[in-house]
Structure 1
Amino acid sequence: MDIDVFAAAHAREWKRLDDLVRRRRSLRGEEIDELVDLYQRVSTHLSVVRSSGQDPALVGRLSTQVARARSAVTGAHAPAWRDAAGFFTRVFPAVLYRLRWWWIGVSAGTVLLSTAVAVWMVTNPDVMHAVGTPEEMARYVEHDFANYYVENPAGSFAAQVWTNNAWVSAQAIIFGVAFGLPTLYVLAMNGVNLGFAAGMMIGHGRGEQFFGLILPHGLLEMTAVFVAGGVGLKLGWTIIAPGDRTRMRALGEEARAALAVVLGLVVVLFVSGLIEGFVTGWVHTTWLRIGIGVLAEALFLAYVFTVGRRAHQEGETGDIEDAPAAVPVG
């Protein structure tokens, strides 16, 4: 299809639709019918142009025009709470489910790396000694590690870790546009740091304390980071191998889905931050602390593999351009 010829052939209809939308409050009966008819026609034009993948700018222009016309035809936009509900019951879980193998793979790889680093430290005393002096190591395992969770007020500490983890996750996703290489670095550094902490604690006979303090918030927190890493790597791979889509179209679709993940993970990390701030250092019964963490992780996975699976099977891709909240501005 020659996109320029197509645009020239329908330019008059698009202009007329714009005119009717601008005057929507003063339309006569026959003009209202015309508005509805043109809205349906231009929606079809948008589908044709989008499927051709030839002109992203025209797709954006027609998407905005169709959204404005939809608002004029329906008379009012859905309440904000309904948009939020649609995002968390369809868009966010659908993209998590669609990209599940990416973040499951990242999870497995990072855990293996952390385990390898911890085993290396525990089985090689020279490595342990190279990390710090005996006094520094003793202070870390006997005081600093556990004190980290209680040295600040719970509320401010929860906000601090929430902000930090959200930033790490955002980096893991954003860096995907550089072919995923910086994303791999972020994931590797997190895995190595976790492995060092585990190795130091286990090597000094504090393994039970380590897992008792890490698991309550760490299960959900690290899953969120793994999700971000998987989405970032998928974004990078899309640039390398866009498939049967044009590279720009593929990148645009995956970037919009990645943005949905960023927004959704803010809430997930808020929950893990609350657990880290108010549970990890303050609930003194180990089984209860870990049980809260396991429950949070189980609910998240159930959310992905039930709500997300259903939304994905119904055709939801996680592309926020097609979400209910995609409405005109101005």
Structure 2
Amino acid sequence: MDLDAYVAAHLPAWQRLESLTRQRRLTGAETDELVELYQRVGTHLSVVRTSAPDPSLVAYLSATLAKARTRAAGTRSVGWRGVAGFYTERFPAALYRLRYWWLGCLAGNVVVTAVMMLWLLDHPDVEQSLLSPGEIDQLVNHDVEGYYSEYAASHFAAQVWVNNAWVAALCIALGILGLPVLWLLFQNVANLAIIGSIMTRHDQGQHFWGLILPHGLLELTAVFVAGGTGLRLFWSWVEPRELTRTQSLAREGRTAGTIALGLVAVLAVSGAIEGFVTPSPLPTWARIGIGVTAEVAFWAYVFVLGRAAAHRGHTGDLGARVLEDRVATQA
């Protein structure tokens, strides 16, 4: 195909479509014209891709079609309706679709933590090699509880949110490499196991878990979701199945972005609990009850709302409307 001749023949239609997308208001006739040109230019894009895939021309036509599609369909993805759709469909569907990955991550980390704590309790000499007697005394009698009351609750909640969001972001961002995710998760549970075993050996186990569980249930679940998502991203190019590696990685990368954005809200909730509930004067049973309630709500969110969204066809990926244009073509 002579690309120059093809461009010369159809450039007026492309420019007209581009002009219509820039108009503030369209009449009924202009709207009909926009839809007709959208279909026609979609055909042109398909021909160019097949016969003479010039990158700059493909990019230009794709961008023009995207603007036309947005103009024809409206701005439904913007505003509160888009936010509501994200949290009621896209995010829970992504969590549900990847449930086996993050549930496996959660179960594995719980087992590793339990094994490490039991082993450390049976080997007190290891504790002495990690910390001096003075450091252990400071940890047991001051540091753990003081950690939750050192700053004003609002400042501490913000600090906790930033820290946990950073850990979760690293798990997802480094997921494509695989091993760094495992290392991050191991560091996380190793710290918990070491401090937990020290507190338990010094008869402070009940106090320790009373401080950890209110916020830790939801917080650690969010971290394990991020870890499972990162590992799924790694596996998407190792075993792409029916897709090419590029397609598989792109799809899981978009889904990982969905989960990363959604976890911001989940970690904000756990940060608020850690900042305001954990150090509060409420009895231990009440503080733990609040943490359990938040955790149960998250699981219901995934397995009730997420399952329903998945059955409606949502996967956590971007909708076809905002992906690269692949419109029906006409002869």
Shift of 1:138: 1.9
Relative to structure 1, is the Cα distance of residues 121 and 326 closer, same or farther in structure 2, using a 3 angstrom cutoff?
Answer: same
1:70 alignment partner in structure 2: 69
Identify which of 184, 191, 194 aligns with 1:193: 191
Identify which of 195, 200, 203 aligns with 1:202: 200
Gaps of 5+ in 2: 326-331
Mean Cα deviation higher: 248-257 or 132-141: 132-141
Q: What secondary structure, in the 3-state scheme, does the structure 2 residue paired with 1:87 have?
A: helix
Tell me the distance in 1 between the aligned counterparts of 2:124 and 2:83.
Answer: 53
- Aligned pairs for 1:12-27 within 5 A: 16-17=13-14, 19-24=16-21, 25=23
Kindly indicate whether the alpha-carbon contact (under 8 Å) linking 1:21 and 1:35 is maintained by their aligned counterparts in 2. no
Kindly indicate whether the alpha-carbon contact (under 8 Å) linking 2:215 and 2:271 is maintained by their aligned counterparts in 1. yes
Tell me the distance in 2 between the aligned counterparts of 1:297 and 1:15.
Answer: 58
Tell me the distance in 2 between the aligned counterparts of 1:103 and 1:57.
Answer: 40
Relative to structure 1, is the Cα distance of residues 266 and 11 closer, same or farther in structure 2, using a 3 angstrom cutoff?
Answer: farther
Kindly indicate whether the alpha-carbon contact (under 8 Å) linking 1:155 and 1:278 is maintained by their aligned counterparts in 2. yes
1:274 alignment partner in structure 2: 272
Relative to structure 1, is the Cα distance of residues 30 and 177 closer, same or farther in structure 2, using a 3 angstrom cutoff?
Answer: same
Q: What secondary structure, in the 3-state scheme, does the structure 1 residue paired with 2:174 have?
A: helix
Tell me the distance in 2 between the aligned counterparts of 1:56 and 1:93.
Answer: 36
Kindly indicate whether the alpha-carbon contact (under 8 Å) linking 2:17 and 2:37 is maintained by their aligned counterparts in 1. no
Mean Cα deviation higher: 317-326 or 185-194: 317-326
Relative to structure 1, is the Cα distance of residues 238 and 36 closer, same or farther in structure 2, using a 3 angstrom cutoff?
Answer: same
1:228 alignment partner in structure 2: 226
2:136 alignment partner in structure 1: 137
Query: Partner amino acid for 1:219?
Result: L
What is the number of equivalent residue pairs in this alignment?
319
1:253 partnered with 2:251: yes
2:211 alignment partner in structure 1: 213
Shift of 1:27: 6.4
- Aligned pairs for 1:61-210 within 5 A: 64-77=63-76, 79-178=78-177, 180-210=178-208
Query: Partner amino acid for 1:287?
Result: W
1:295 alignment partner in structure 2: 293
Q: Give the structure-2-normalised TM-score.
A: 0.85
Q: What secondary structure, in the 3-state scheme, does the structure 2 residue paired with 1:270 have?
A: helix
Q: Give the structure-1-normalised TM-score.
A: 0.85
CA offset digits 1:79-106 (Å, max 9, x no partner): 5111111111111111110000000000
Alignment root-mean-square deviation, CA: 3.3
Tell me the distance in 1 between the aligned counterparts of 2:324 and 2:281.
Answer: 43
Tell me the distance in 1 between the aligned counterparts of 2:44 and 2:219.
Answer: 44
Mean Cα deviation higher: 111-120 or 78-87: 78-87
Shift of 1:305: 0.8
Tell me the distance in 1 between the aligned counterparts of 2:300 and 2:6.
Answer: 50
Query: Partner amino acid for 1:23?
Result: L
1:35 partnered with 2:39: no
Kindly indicate whether the alpha-carbon contact (under 8 Å) linking 1:83 and 1:325 is maintained by their aligned counterparts in 2. no
CA offset digits 1:112-169 (Å, max 9, x no partner): 1111111111111211221212222122112211111011111111100100000000
Tell me the distance in 1 between the aligned counterparts of 2:189 and 2:174.
Answer: 17
Query: Partner amino acid for 1:98?
Result: R
Shift of 1:40: 4.5
Shift of 1:242: 1.2
Task: Indicate the structure (1 or 2) with the bigger Cα radius of gyration.
Answer: 2
Mean Cα deviation higher: 136-145 or 76-85: 76-85
CA offset digits 1:246-265 (Å, max 9, x no partner): 11111111111111111111
Kindly indicate whether the alpha-carbon contact (under 8 Å) linking 2:215 and 2:273 is maintained by their aligned counterparts in 1. yes
Identify which of 255, 262, 265 aligns with 2:263: 265
Kindly indicate whether the alpha-carbon contact (under 8 Å) linking 1:17 and 1:69 is maintained by their aligned counterparts in 2. no
